[in-house]
A and B are shown apart, each in its own frame.
Chain A
């Protein structure tokens, strides 16, 4: 028995765990609960300024939103980017508040979710050194519980396109990046957005 295992056993016994349970656990150093304690930190949230010229420079949406969608999305005072494909746009349910908007579309075994938000959390540790902020043409793609997210920053707004598949482990739209990237690329500016946001 090496030193690490002995230590682990000792700690585990002190914790009331059976040796058997320890034996079944991977042999790793049990971390201390109290290694680092600092005062909990609540991060400030700021409403980002909109870079309207750049927003206006983004290609406008060619497809049409419904009146309802338009009415909802009109609440958001920020550039609203939406899928330019009618099949992903028109079935969508739009929700919005002053500083954010979202479009949720469920079709063909996929939920497509598009969201823009100008309320930013100021995290002093972020972005990490060397991190390249994602942009519309080079979004940050990630997965979370088989949902695929692609995020990018534009005009002071953070956008995210999320794809959730009904068959997440089989559907290439979730197992591969192409679909979500295509959806990002298809995003177009809702034309009614004017300078400073709002309708």
Chain B
């Protein structure tokens, strides 16, 4: 069982990490026996445990067996003080056979230190109690040593403080009993604060010699600090900020955590944990707003505290730049600064101008006084090609004056001749004492119903309203309409007699009986005629072109009553078949007006012609009026009775205007 225990112990030894890692509690680790500080000699590699039941000689842990001479601050060790933390850290180092000049047959070299130097938890003098490794007897106490004899082993404690020893020679002590305080006592020559612990045994065939205490110390120390923690010394640090690293029963667990982290890139800021990984934040912005430097982020200097952000590095770059002055060209970087280049060329080659650059734009304001030609009648300016001398503008825009400049003043002399007064409605424009004058253009067209006016040089006749005279005295109330004089109403000449044909001539009313030619009553060149009122017969002479022949004017007798086509309607009834016939009077007054209006004088004895459409509906009305059939019948009877039956019959047959006048 014990053998198995030791085996386990050494197996653990194999696994122990040799260094104390940050964030991990210090775990007990040790170099094996025989492994000495480099350069301190050849150790005794042994697995022998010479004091297997001993108690570790310091009261408390931690304690650090290691070399004093080759430790930090030792005469052969790294520079520093004995209190350097490296002296108070695991792993342990064996120094049993550390180089000495003293004979030690157990050491490979035959010489050696013969004991083990042990530091306490700290370097503070006279603080750490040393205790009996075994129950035994104090057999000797020297100036800086205490001898504890327990069975065949003598444990020696060197460098204890002699002033605070808790035991005396001959005293029996129990295992773990306090003996004294660790100190630096060394016979008047102080050493480091430590315990030189050795084990002296009678080694068969060799004598009483100091055996290696190292494995015994390891064994006893493990008993002192308790059972080994399977997680002790186990490095569970996954070096991820975003996990919480724990160890349970020897197994590492890495639990994701949230919050800020470092992705290892000092130039990313605001790194945040996500699912156990550190996600890079935004890149650190390094900008000095200097075009002459290359801006970059670099890791912090070595030795900076953890999570120190990267530092911005601005490296000068030789390149073109802009010095902010647009009036310089070829600016270039020089040691982080933008040096101005040459001035922008704004020369225009014109003597009378200044060459000026403003915000990169060339301008050429004139130089005052450089273009004066001493002529008051010129305006002197500096143009794009140099000085320009322009004659004073004396033009008065008056065609009736002659413009000139004299001694810097404008003179406008009057002149004669045609001109244009600018008025198109004036005619015969001509200069008159420097003024252009014309006569008003006449636009009256003598028409009563228009008013003439000039517009843009042309005459415009504008219709007017009001009364006018159409020249016909038989029309009354003539009025202008659309620029024309329209006749008014026909003068009322109705005399109230049915047997007269009322008419108007030259403004005077006429009343005549209707005369109708009798078809066979041409006698001697005359035609018997009767008026509508039955007076007669009057003899009317046949027209020259229609001499009386065969009893009729023109030799052609009028159709007899009852003849087909175009004959007079003797029935007096309205008949649609008569549409092509002459107009029929339906009302006496109306009929009279129609006669006056539409009858053609040339149709008196001529062939029947269609009445003009202007005759209107009245012209087509049946002839049942005041001069109607009834009356005509009676009149015809009268005529017949008077021997003029033919005339009477004819009258009843047809009605034809005897005459009409028209202006």
Binding site for B on A (CB under 8 A): 15-17, 21, 24-43, 45-46, 48, 72, 93-95, 97, 99-100, 102, 104, 106, 111, 113, 115, 117-123, 126-128, 131, 133-134, 140-147, 149, 151-153, 157-160, 162, 164-169
Contact residues in B for A149 (Cβ distance below 8 Å): 208
Instruction: Report the nearest A residue to B48, measured CB to CB.
Output: A41
Contact of B38 among A16, A29, A39, A168 (CB under 8 A): A29
**Residue among A15, A99, A102, A169 having the largest count of chain B Cβ atoms under 10 Å:** A102
Contact residues in A for B102 (Cβ distance below 8 Å): 142-144
A97 touches B204 (CB 8 A): no
Q: Does B283 contact A (CB under 8 A)?
A: no
A126-B140 contact, Cβ under 8 Å, with A36-B32, A144-B210: no
A121-B204 contact, Cβ under 8 Å, with A31-B38, A99-B151, A141-B103: yes
Distance, CA A168 to CA B185, complexed state (A): 11
Binding site for A on B (CB under 8 A): 3, 6-7, 9-10, 13-14, 16, 18-21, 31-32, 34-36, 38-39, 45-50, 52, 70, 76-79, 86, 91, 100-106, 113-115, 137-145, 147, 149, 151-152, 154, 156, 158-159, 169-170, 186-189, 196, 198, 200-211, 215, 219
Distance, CA A27 to CA B131, complexed state (A): 37
A41 touches B169 (CB 8 A): no
Contact of A126 among B32, B196, B204 (CB under 8 A): B204
Distance, CA A38 to CA B50, complexed state (A): 15
Instruction: Report the nearest A residue to B104, measured CB to CB.
Output: A142
A119 touches B202 (CB 8 A): yes
Contact of A127 among B101, B105, B208 (CB under 8 A): B105
A126 touches B142 (CB 8 A): no
5 CB-based A-B contacts, threshold 8 Å: A42-B52, A95-B169, A142-B210, A147-B145, A166-B187
Distance, CA A106 to CA B651, complexed state (A): 206
Min C-beta distance of A125 to chain B, whole Å: 8
Contact of B187 among A29, A43, A169 (CB under 8 A): A169
B207 touches A140 (CB 8 A): yes
Distance, CA A155 to CA B207, complexed state (A): 12
Q: A121-B202, A123-B204 provided; 13 other pairs, C-beta below 8 A? A: A33-B32, A36-B34, A37-B32, A40-B219, A113-B139, A115-B208, A119-B151, A121-B152, A121-B211, A131-B205, A140-B209, A142-B209, A164-B143
Contact of B170 among A95, A120, A122 (CB under 8 A): A95
B208 touches A165 (CB 8 A): no
Contact residues in A for B200 (Cβ distance below 8 Å): 160
Distance, CA A165 to CA B158, complexed state (A): 13
Contact of B7 among A39, A48, A104 (CB under 8 A): A39
Min C-beta distance of A119 to chain B, whole Å: 3
Min C-beta distance of B1 to chain A, whole Å: 13
A133 touches B205 (CB 8 A): yes
Min C-beta distance of A122 to chain B, whole Å: 5
B10 touches A102 (CB 8 A): no
Min C-beta distance of A57 to chain B, whole Å: 20
Min C-beta distance of B114 to chain A, whole Å: 4
B10 touches A127 (CB 8 A): no
Distance, CA A117 to CA B45, complexed state (A): 27
Contact residues in A for B169 (Cβ distance below 8 Å): 93, 95, 104
Distance, CA A134 to CA B208, complexed state (A): 10
Distance, CA A128 to CA B45, complexed state (A): 15
Contact residues in B for A160 (Cβ distance below 8 Å): 200, 207-208
A134 touches B91 (CB 8 A): no
Contact of B206 among A45, A93, A131 (CB under 8 A): A131
Distance, CA A123 to CA B9, complexed state (A): 22
Min C-beta distance of A178 to chain B, whole Å: 16
A117-B105 contact, Cβ under 8 Å, with A16-B21, A167-B187: no
Contact residues in A for B70 (Cβ distance below 8 Å): 26
A21 touches B141 (CB 8 A): no
Contact residues in B for A134 (Cβ distance below 8 Å): 207
A104 touches B147 (CB 8 A): yes
Contact residues in A for B139 (Cβ distance below 8 Å): 95, 102, 104, 113, 115
Distance, CA A143 to CA B141, complexed state (A): 17
Contact residues in B for A43 (Cβ distance below 8 Å): 48-50
Distance, CA A42 to CA B6, complexed state (A): 10
A128 touches B151 (CB 8 A): no
Distance, CA A194 to CA B479, complexed state (A): 192
B10 touches A144 (CB 8 A): no
Contact residues in B for A104 (Cβ distance below 8 Å): 139-141, 147, 169
Contact residues in A for B113 (Cβ distance below 8 Å): 144
Contact residues in B for A165 (Cβ distance below 8 Å): 143, 187
Min C-beta distance of B24 to chain A, whole Å: 11
Distance, CA A98 to CA B368, complexed state (A): 134
A40 touches B78 (CB 8 A): no
Distance, CA A34 to CA B158, complexed state (A): 30
Min C-beta distance of B470 to chain A, whole Å: 136
Min C-beta distance of B26 to chain A, whole Å: 13
Contact residues in A for B16 (Cβ distance below 8 Å): 33
Distance, CA A69 to CA B207, complexed state (A): 25
Contact residues in A for B20 (Cβ distance below 8 Å): 16
Contact residues in A for B77 (Cβ distance below 8 Å): 25
Contact residues in B for A120 (Cβ distance below 8 Å): 152, 202-204
Distance, CA A45 to CA B76, complexed state (A): 37
Distance, CA A151 to CA B9, complexed state (A): 35
A95 touches B149 (CB 8 A): yes
B204 touches A122 (CB 8 A): yes
B152 touches A115 (CB 8 A): no
Min C-beta distance of A71 to chain B, whole Å: 12
Min C-beta distance of A118 to chain B, whole Å: 7
Contact of B103 among A32, A94, A119, A142 (CB under 8 A): A142
Distance, CA A151 to CA B145, complexed state (A): 18
Distance, CA A134 to CA B196, complexed state (A): 26
Contact of B143 among A35, A38, A111 (CB under 8 A): A111
Contact residues in B for A111 (Cβ distance below 8 Å): 140-143, 145
Contact residues in A for B103 (Cβ distance below 8 Å): 140-142
A102 touches B149 (CB 8 A): yes
Contact of A164 among B49, B50, B142 (CB under 8 A): B142
Contact residues in A for B14 (Cβ distance below 8 Å): 34, 37
Contact of A158 among B21, B156, B207 (CB under 8 A): B207
Distance, CA A147 to CA B143, complexed state (A): 10
Min C-beta distance of B332 to chain A, whole Å: 44
Contact of A145 among B78, B79, B196 (CB under 8 A): B196
A41 touches B47 (CB 8 A): yes
Distance, CA A145 to CA B204, complexed state (A): 24
Going nearest first, the 8 A-B pairs with the smallest beta carbon separation are A119-B152, A28-B38, A26-B39, A164-B142, A158-B202, A104-B140, A111-B142, A151-B207
A117-B207 contact, Cβ under 8 Å, with A39-B3, A111-B142, A164-B143: no
Min C-beta distance of A133 to chain B, whole Å: 6
Min C-beta distance of B14 to chain A, whole Å: 5
**Residue among B35, B144, B207 having the largest count of chain A Cβ atoms under 10 Å:** B207
Distance, CA A34 to CA B103, complexed state (A): 28
**Residue among A147, A149, A151 having the largest count of chain B Cβ atoms under 10 Å:** A147
B207 touches A153 (CB 8 A): yes
A140 touches B189 (CB 8 A): no
A123 touches B152 (CB 8 A): no
Min C-beta distance of B35 to chain A, whole Å: 5
B187 touches A99 (CB 8 A): no
Distance, CA A48 to CA B201, complexed state (A): 13
Contact residues in B for A17 (Cβ distance below 8 Å): 19
Contact of A33 among B18, B106, B154, B204 (CB under 8 A): B18
Distance, CA A50 to CA B215, complexed state (A): 31
Contact residues in A for B38 (Cβ distance below 8 Å): 25-31
